[in-house]
Structure 1
Amino acid sequence: MIKLQGGGTMPAKLISEIILDRIADGTPISQLKREFGLSKKDIVTAALYGVAELREEYMSLLAKKRKFR
């Protein structure tokens, strides 16, 4: 869980998805830090989450490709 500005909390996976979506839409990281009260660690955690998801997707595609050989 990540504590948000204003005292609320949100699951780390969900906030990571939101951060990555907003960055992809062109929102500056500094703005996200202000909006959500994020630290550098939160941004890095979101990036690592994104890398892990991409790896998972790549491995799935690779397995499908090998299956059809």
Structure 2
Amino acid sequence: MNGMEWAEFIRRTENKMYHLHRAIDGICNEPDYQESVTALTEVVRDYQTLVEKAKDELRAIDMHPEHRHE
């Protein structure tokens, strides 16, 4: 993926995490949903790992390839 694609992936994934956090906040005090809260929290952690890996990939991209001195 190129830099723009990584940036878009990060944006979309962070947006999903935001909505998951809102859902978790809405049901976290409901005893019937404790298993769901646990599962959703795990999904958020997985998304966070993906975002961190994507940010590492984005940092590794040479944004100025025309300025190379070889």
TM-score by length of 2: 0.40
Higher strand share: 1
Q: Which has the higher contact order (CA 8 A, sep 6+)?
A: 2
Find the structure with the greater CA-based Rg. 2
